[in-house]
Amino acid sequence: MTREEISEKLVQTNKDFTTYITSLSEEDYNYSYNDKWTAGQQMEHIYKSIVPLNKALMLPKAIMKLNFGKANRPSRSYDDLIIRYKEKLGLGGKAPSQFAPEGISFDKRQKLADNLMKATGTLIKRLKKFTEEDLDVLILPHPLLGKLTLREMTYFTDYHTRHHHLHTIENLKHTLQKKLTFIINFLMLSENFDLFSFQQIKLENEIHQEHNMDCGNPWFFNYLLTLCSSRF
């Protein structure tokens, strides 16, 4: 990808991520499955990861070369970098402690989202001083992947957000199942329960799975609750 293409991709990826996180209910925002990071912590981690990259990109090119050297190989493709990242994770690789989230309260989620998008804008602005050649020659150290070209670093930054976006969705699939189980059990215990209402909920759940609907999206649960309340 060219500098302009990856810049557009970075903005869209982080916009999708922040929009998703800020749309969650307070319960889902703070939900943690098996002590995994909450949605808010996932967003805080992404923000903490971009800030030091922005600082590094402020360095003059000559200082960057002096401190970190120059690339001795071509930049990896986006897909190849993802494969390498997943391999490192598979070997037990984890984020260093300085990137670990502390936790941002629900009422401050929008401020965190705004800060992340502002940091993304700063990243895009600072990338503009580098030519396409610079992106394949200049390198920066990555705590898990070692030395990466600037182009590879932008690829990682984009995929890193996507990776944690997916982890957030996976985490919330467990609360989805809990909510569906509660609603179905509630209906079955009600004296007004009938087979039709159960089949309707079962059908909606099948549609949800077939179309891989976003499990963090509250409209689906609101629809089910409306359906249930209409039966009582």
* Tens digit of each residue's pLDDT (9 = 90 or more) over 82-109: 999 999 998 888 877 788 888 889 999 9
- Distance between CA 112 and CA 45 in Å, rounded? 11
One domain for residues 33 and 73? yes
Compare 15 and 196 and report the one with higher pLDDT. 15
One domain for residues 102 and 165? yes
Mark which of 148, 170, 192 sits at the end of a domain. Answer: 170
Mean pLDDT of 182-208: 54
One domain for residues 90 and 138? yes
Residue 164's CATH number: 1.20.120.450
Give the pLDDT band of residue 8 (cuts 50, 70, 90).
Answer: very high
pLDDT of residue 122: 98
Instruction: Please count the structural domains in the chain.
Output: 2
Query: Mean of the per-residue pLDDT values for the chain?
Result: 83
Mark which of 133, 149, 170 sits at the end of a domain. Answer: 170
One domain for residues 219 and 161? no
Is the per-residue pLDDT at 27 higher than 70?
yes
One domain for residues 19 and 37? yes
- Domain that residue 223 falls in: 174-229
Q: What is the largest CA-CA distance in the chain?
A: 76
Mark which of 137, 170, 203 sits at the end of a domain. Answer: 170
Locus of tokens 């749309």? 23
- Distance between CA 220 and CA 204 in Å, rounded? 9
Is the per-residue pLDDT at 227 higher than 80?
no
- Distance between CA 229 and CA 163 in Å, rounded? 37
pLDDT of residue 206: 55
H or E stretch covering 220:
helix 218-229
One domain for residues 124 and 194? no
One domain for residues 78 and 16? yes
**DSSP at 100:** -
One domain for residues 207 and 151? no
One domain for residues 164 and 193? no
pLDDT of residue 216: 45
One domain for residues 12 and 95? yes
One domain for residues 200 and 138? no
One domain for residues 38 and 18? yes
